[in-house]
A and B are shown apart, each in its own frame.
Chain A
Amino acid sequence: MKIPKFVLSILLVACLVMAIGLPAYAAKVIKIGVIGPMKFVQGKGHWNGATMAAEEINAKGGLWVGKKKMKVELVKADSNEFLSMTDATNAMELLLTRHKVDFIVGGFRTEAVLAMQDIAMDHKKIFIGVGAASDEICTRVAKDYDTYKYWFRGSPFNSTYLGKTSFIHLGTVAAILKMSLNIPKIKVAVVAEKAMWTEGMIKACKVYLPKMGMEVVGIWRPSAVATDVTAELAAIQRSGAHIVFTIFSSSVGITFARQAGELKIPAAMVGINVEAQKDGFYEATEKMGNYVMTLNTYARGVEVNELTPRFVNTYIKRFGETPTYTADTYTAIIYSLAPVIEEAGTLDADKIVALMENREYAVPSGKHKYMKDAQGRHLHDLTWGPGYLTSLGVQWQDGKLVGVWPNRWKAAKGVPEITYKGIVPYKIAPWIIEKYKK
């Protein structure tokens, strides 16, 4: 059968129109890739926060990009980074090459984020990290700005500041124990899971705790996934520690709290315990996790600023749980990206980077301002401190996670005290009082 030239011409024109028209059609949405370990609670936080942000933007008809209003479309990518680094890099490649996303938010494990960061930077796409705390991810920006300028930290603040805040919490609890129980010198047992991110904090413990007037009675390093720490607990109890300074991000946080609660170890637990930041912790420890204190970003009823309750309450209503810091994908999209896209009037990454790195803006956990290093180079790392980001100290009290810090906290001499709305006093476990009260 012979096809007439006329029909062939029409087909050719139609193909051309489609070839030109399809990208234009696709460009009607802003594609944001959400990458994280989706089968785990961290990834669920990433997705939930981003979903909330996209729904909020799309309910208003989208974002103004120049003269066009564009809706946000999320693309979910399971990095599976707890189990496979290859899965993480593949997921990032897929986002950039198949789905052709405009921006990426998420990532959790430093080791995986470093690899995913390189891929995003190769494609010159903005990647806002929500999860990994290592300083190294941001020092790359200062060292090689042209390559890494598309990276920004979204949450949490870096591990140096995480350590600093945890030491403030430790000092606060030590002061309470000293005053309430008349303990002359506080003994501290440091228990840190075996992981790269804890190394710096352990070194800092050895240096700073004696300077803070405390005695380090021992440092224990269980595996991050240890399922039995009774031997460690027996040794800690034998050491006479008044405080256990925990540095946990994995399941050992549940094991440790549960077994310590079961055995009523007379030492207050304070520090970082990522599992204790989650609503499910109390049930996961079979109600043995009471009195555990940890650093956290959000808590029910605690207001860092006027944006906090709106975010926390909406999140709880929508997903039935308190947001953890990986849900800050919401902040990354709503507060970091959206205003800049509208201001720039384009999705061009270079133009957006130039605007993003010089902004200062309120977010539900405080205020974002991107730092520069000592030589004045951009780090794209978050500023810590009063007026910016401080995080919270939260404690499990009667099965509820409540905010206990900052409570009349003075960051330096001569500066005003800080107490966030909704903060309640710290409670000492009854079995500790029983052991030390004279």
Chain B
Amino acid sequence: MILDIIISGLISGSVYALLAIGFSLIYGAARIVNLAHTAFYMVASYCIYYATHKMGVHPVLAMLAAIILVTLIGLVCYQLFINPIREHEAAVLIATIAMAMAMQEVMLLIFTGDFLSVPALVKGYLKIFGVKIAYQQLLTIGAALLILAGVWAVLMKTRLGLAVRATAQDREVANLMGMNESRVAMITMGISVGLAAFAGAVVVPLTIVNPHMWMHPLIIMLAVVVLGGLGSLKGSFAGAYILGFTESLVVFLLPMGAFLKGSVALSVMILVLLIRPEGLFGVAFEEER
């Protein structure tokens, strides 16, 4: 059973990590709490569904096209709805949730509320010590690790990464040093939405496409980033796996309470926050940034 728990936890954790990293990135760099993050993931899923089922496009091409298209939509949304009110955090919260609701309604109008699906990139399963794991799930774990490595490389090894980190530390000083803080924020938004779309592309073959598919991941993703420490990529990664393993433990040890897996995971988050209010890898006070 331990092996089952480890493998199930790894799968769930990887999916949560994929979503949380993008969210953390834009919060860390631009202090934007983008509640529409998982709505972009939903739109990407629909794009892939439409391209594969209605246009007959190969799934890989459909995924690439969806990532590009959703990233562009994200940038347009940023310019139109977020950038003008960026300084007002509460307004950004409301604007992004409104954006998410609007995207949901548009998808509902176009595709109705039917439950849809997208084919797996790799079909079949692998047996590891008697535990069956679908290849698609292994692909998701691999993609999550790859993306994290990619994001880390961009942040640590490029000039853009340096600018993002500098802006994240102190926007005013970064501006004084000649960095175009607004442009950095827009680029970071693009990367963040691109990551959401990528998460959608990798996760969509494992899930059911419907207009409300963004809501549950949003809650878990928020829990992950709060648990890990707002804006911390390292924290998001750790938080995602902690919640993933917690959920897996609940299903295996409390089958009758399997539906409580989300609640138990959120309780773990609260417990950690009681002991360490800033989250696992967060900064205790704003002044420390």
Q: Which A positions have Cβ atoms within 8 angstroms of B?
A: 37, 39-41, 44, 82-83, 193-194, 218-223, 225-228, 230-235, 237-238, 251, 254-255, 258-259, 262-265, 275, 280, 283-286
Give the distance in Å from the alpha carbon of A257 to the alpha carbon of B202 in the complex: 20
B116 within 8 A of A: yes
CB pair B117–A283 under 8 Å, yes or no, is: yes
CB pair A218–B208 under 8 Å, yes or no, is: no
Q: Which B positions have Cβ atoms within 8 angstroms of A?
A: 1, 4-5, 7-8, 11-12, 15, 108-109, 112-120, 123-125, 131-134, 136-137, 205-208, 210, 212-213, 216, 247-248, 251-252, 255-259, 261-262
CB pair B4–A254 under 8 Å, yes or no, is: no
Give the distance in Å from the alpha carbon of A275 to the alpha carbon of B208 in the complex: 12
Which listed residue, B1, B8, B205, B216, touches A230 by the CB 8 Å rule?
Answer: B8
Give the distance in Å from the alpha carbon of A232 to the alpha carbon of B255 in the complex: 8
Identity of the chain B residue whose Cβ is nearest the Cβ of A236 in the assembled complex: B255
CB contact under 8 A between A220 and B15, given known A231-B252, A262-B125, A275-B115: no
CB pair A237–B132 under 8 Å, yes or no, is: yes
Residues of A within 8 A of B116 (CB): 284
Other A-B contacts than A44-B112, A227-B216, A231-B8, 10 sampled, CB-CB below 8 A, are A40-B113, A193-B259, A227-B208, A232-B251, A232-B258, A234-B252, A251-B208, A259-B134, A265-B132, A285-B117
Give the distance in Å from the alpha carbon of A109 to the alpha carbon of B113 in the complex: 15
Residues of B within 8 A of A40 (CB): 112-114
CB pair B134–A251 under 8 Å, yes or no, is: no
Residues of B within 8 A of A235 (CB): 4, 251-252, 255
CB pair B115–A251 under 8 Å, yes or no, is: yes
Give the distance in Å from the alpha carbon of A259 to the alpha carbon of B108 in the complex: 25
CB pair A39–B112 under 8 Å, yes or no, is: yes
Residues of B within 8 A of A194 (CB): 259
A106 to chain B, nearest CB (A): 16
CB contact under 8 A between A221 and B114, given known A230-B137, A231-B8: no
B235 to chain A, nearest CB (A): 23
CB pair B252–A262 under 8 Å, yes or no, is: no
CB contact under 8 A between A286 and B207, given known A40-B114, A230-B11: no
CB pair A264–B255 under 8 Å, yes or no, is: no
Residues of B within 8 A of A39 (CB): 108-109, 112-113
CB pair A223–B259 under 8 Å, yes or no, is: yes
CB pair B114–A225 under 8 Å, yes or no, is: no
CB pair A222–B259 under 8 Å, yes or no, is: yes
Residues of B within 8 A of A251 (CB): 115, 208, 210
B275 to chain A, nearest CB (A): 27
Identity of the chain A residue whose Cβ is nearest the Cβ of B8 in the assembled complex: A231
The 9 A-B pairs of least Cβ separation, nearest first, read: A194-B259, A40-B113, A231-B8, A231-B251, A227-B207, A263-B132, A234-B4, A221-B259, A220-B255
Give the distance in Å from the alpha carbon of A230 to the alpha carbon of B207 in the complex: 11
Give the distance in Å from the alpha carbon of A284 to the alpha carbon of B118 in the complex: 8
Residues of B within 8 A of A227 (CB): 206-208, 213, 216
Give the distance in Å from the alpha carbon of A286 to the alpha carbon of B117 in the complex: 7
CB pair A234–B216 under 8 Å, yes or no, is: no
Give the distance in Å from the alpha carbon of A251 to the alpha carbon of B117 in the complex: 11
CB pair A264–B258 under 8 Å, yes or no, is: no
Identity of the chain B residue whose Cβ is nearest the Cβ of A219 in the assembled complex: B256
CB pair B247–A231 under 8 Å, yes or no, is: yes
Residues of A within 8 A of B205 (CB): 286
Identity of the chain A residue whose Cβ is nearest the Cβ of B53 in the assembled complex: A283
Residues of A within 8 A of B216 (CB): 223, 225, 227
CB pair B120–A41 under 8 Å, yes or no, is: no
B126 to chain A, nearest CB (A): 10
Residues of A within 8 A of B5 (CB): 231
Give the distance in Å from the alpha carbon of A220 to the alpha carbon of B252 in the complex: 9
Residues of B within 8 A of A225 (CB): 212, 216
Residues of A within 8 A of B108 (CB): 39
